[in-house]
A and B are shown apart, each in its own frame.
Chain A
Amino acid sequence: MLNYFLKRLFQASLVMLIVAFVSFSLFNFVGDPVNNMVGQEASDERREEIRDKLGINDPIYVQFYNFVENIIQGNFGISYQLKRPVSELISERMPATLELVFVSAILAISVGVLLGVYTGIHRDSFLSKVILVLSLAGVSLPTFIIGIMLIYLFSVILGVLPSFGRGQVIDLGFWTTGFLTISGLKALILPSVTLSLFQMTYIIRLVRAEMMEILQTDYIKFAKARGIAENIINYRYALKNGLIPVITITGINIGTLIAFSIITETVFQWPGMGSLFINAVYFVDIPIMSAYMIMVAFIFVMINFIVDITYYFIDPRIRLKEEKE
Chain B
Amino acid sequence: MKNKLSIVLSLFLVGFVSPLLANTIKWSMPGDSLTLDPHAQNEGPTHMVSRQVYEGLVTHDINMNIVPQLATSWEAVDPETWVFNLRDGVKFHDGSDLTAADVAFSINRARTAPSDMVDLIKSITSATALDDLTVEIKTEGPNPILLNQLVQIFVMSESWSKEMGCELSYNWDAGETSKCASAANGTGPFEITFREQDVRTVFERNQNWWGDQNQFNIDKIELLPIKNDATRIAALLSGEIDYTNVVPVQDLDRIGSSADHQISQVAQNRTIFFGMDQGSAELSSSNIKGKNPFADKRVRQAMYQALDMDAIKDKVMRGQSFPAGIITAPGVNGYTKAHDARLPYDPDAAKQLLADAGYPDGFEVTLDCPNDRYVNDEAICVAAIGMFAKIGVKVNLDAKTKSIHFQEVKEGDADGNPSDMYMLGWGVPTYDSHYVFSFLLESSGSWNKINFKNDRLDEITAAIGVETNIDTRNQLIAEGWDIIQDNIPYLPLHHQVVNQASKSNVDIHARINNEPLFYFANVN
Residues of A whose CB lies within 8 Å of any CB of B are 30-33, 35-36, 38-44, 46, 49-50, 53-54, 78, 81-85, 88, 148, 151-152, 155-156, 159, 162-166, 266-269, 271, 275-276, 278-279, 282, 284
Say yes or no: B234 contacts A148, CB within 8 Å: yes
Say yes or no: B35 contacts A31, CB within 8 Å: no
Say yes or no: B240 contacts A162, CB within 8 Å: yes
A41, A54, A151, A156: most-surrounded residue (chain B CB, <10 A)? A41
Q: Report B196-217 CB contacts with A as 1/0, cut-off 8 Å.
A: 1111100000000000000000
Say yes or no: B238 contacts A159, CB within 8 Å: yes
Could you write out 13 A-B pairs with CB less than 8 Å apart?
A: A31-B407, A32-B407, A53-B173, A85-B175, A148-B234, A156-B234, A159-B238, A163-B231, A164-B235, A267-B231, A269-B225, A269-B226, A269-B231
Known: A31-B407, A151-B231. A39 touches B43 (CB 8 A): yes
A276 to chain B, nearest CB (A): 8
Q: Which of A44, A83, A159 contacts B35 (CB 8 A)?
A: A83
Q: Which of A32, A53, A164, A166 contacts B226 (CB 8 A)?
A: A164
- Of all chain A residues, the one with the shortest Cβ separation from B172 is A53
Within 8 A of A (CB), among B182-236: 196-200, 224-228, 230-232, 234-235
Judged by a CB distance under 8 angstroms, whether B116 is at the interface is yes
Say yes or no: A266 contacts B227, CB within 8 Å: yes
Q: Which residues of A contact B35 (CB under 8 A)?
A: 82-83
Residues of B whose CB lies within 8 Å of any CB of A are 31, 34-35, 40, 42-43, 113, 116-120, 170, 172-173, 175, 177-178, 181, 196-200, 224-228, 230-232, 234-235, 237-240, 401, 403-404, 406-407, 410-411, 435, 439, 446-447
- Of all chain B residues, the one with the shortest Cβ separation from A79 is B34
Q: Which of A31, A38, A164 contacts B403 (CB 8 A)?
A: A31
B175, B181, B199, B406: most-surrounded residue (chain A CB, <10 A)? B199
Q: Give the CA-CA distance A83 to B40 in the complex, in Å.
A: 10
A84 to chain B, nearest CB (A): 5
Q: Give the CA-CA distance A49 to B172 in the complex, in Å.
A: 11
Say yes or no: A82 contacts B240, CB within 8 Å: no
Q: Which residues of B contact A151 (CB under 8 A)?
A: 230-231, 234
A47 to chain B, nearest CB (A): 9
Say yes or no: A81 contacts B230, CB within 8 Å: no
B214 to chain A, nearest CB (A): 33
Say yes or no: A159 contacts B178, CB within 8 Å: no
Known: A83-B178, A164-B235. A269 touches B228 (CB 8 A): yes
- What would 5 more interface pairs be, CB under 8 Å, given A83-B177, A156-B234, A269-B226? A46-B113, A54-B172, A81-B34, A82-B34, A269-B225
Q: Which residues of B contact A275 (CB under 8 A)?
A: 198, 227
Q: Give the CA-CA distance A269 to B26 in the complex, in Å.
A: 15
Q: Which residues of A contact B237 (CB under 8 A)?
A: 156
B412 to chain A, nearest CB (A): 12
Q: Which residues of B contact A278 (CB under 8 A)?
A: 227
B44 to chain A, nearest CB (A): 10
Q: Which residues of B contact A78 (CB under 8 A)?
A: 172, 175
In the A-B complex, the 10 residue pairs with the closest CB atoms:
A31-B403, A39-B42, A32-B407, A31-B404, A284-B403, A155-B238, A269-B226, A271-B199, A156-B238, A53-B172
Say yes or no: B240 contacts A164, CB within 8 Å: yes
Q: Give the CA-CA distance A42 to B446 in the complex, in Å.
A: 9
B296 to chain A, nearest CB (A): 30
Q: Give the CA-CA distance A156 to B254 in the complex, in Å.
A: 12
Q: Give the CA-CA distance A266 to B234 in the complex, in Å.
A: 14
Say yes or no: A36 contacts B403, CB within 8 Å: yes
Q: Which residues of A contact B181 (CB under 8 A)?
A: 83-84
Q: Give the CA-CA distance A50 to B43 in the complex, in Å.
A: 17
Q: Which residues of B contact A84 (CB under 8 A)?
A: 177, 181
Q: Give the CA-CA distance A78 to B407 in the complex, in Å.
A: 22
Say yes or no: B119 contacts A148, CB within 8 Å: no
Q: Give the CA-CA distance A40 to B402 in the complex, in Å.
A: 13
Q: Which residues of B contact A54 (CB under 8 A)?
A: 172
- Of all chain B residues, the one with the shortest Cβ separation from A85 is B177
Say yes or no: A164 contacts B172, CB within 8 Å: no
Q: Which residues of A contact B113 (CB under 8 A)?
A: 46, 49
Q: Give the CA-CA distance A163 to B102 in the complex, in Å.
A: 43
Q: Which residues of A contact B31 (CB under 8 A)?
A: 279, 282
B177, B228, B237, B446: most-surrounded residue (chain A CB, <10 A)? B228
B162 to chain A, nearest CB (A): 20
B405 to chain A, nearest CB (A): 8
Q: Give the CA-CA distance A269 to B231 in the complex, in Å.
A: 8
- Of all chain B residues, the one with the shortest Cβ separation from A50 is B172
B40, B119, B178: most-surrounded residue (chain A CB, <10 A)? B119
B219 to chain A, nearest CB (A): 20
A217 to chain B, nearest CB (A): 48
B308 to chain A, nearest CB (A): 29
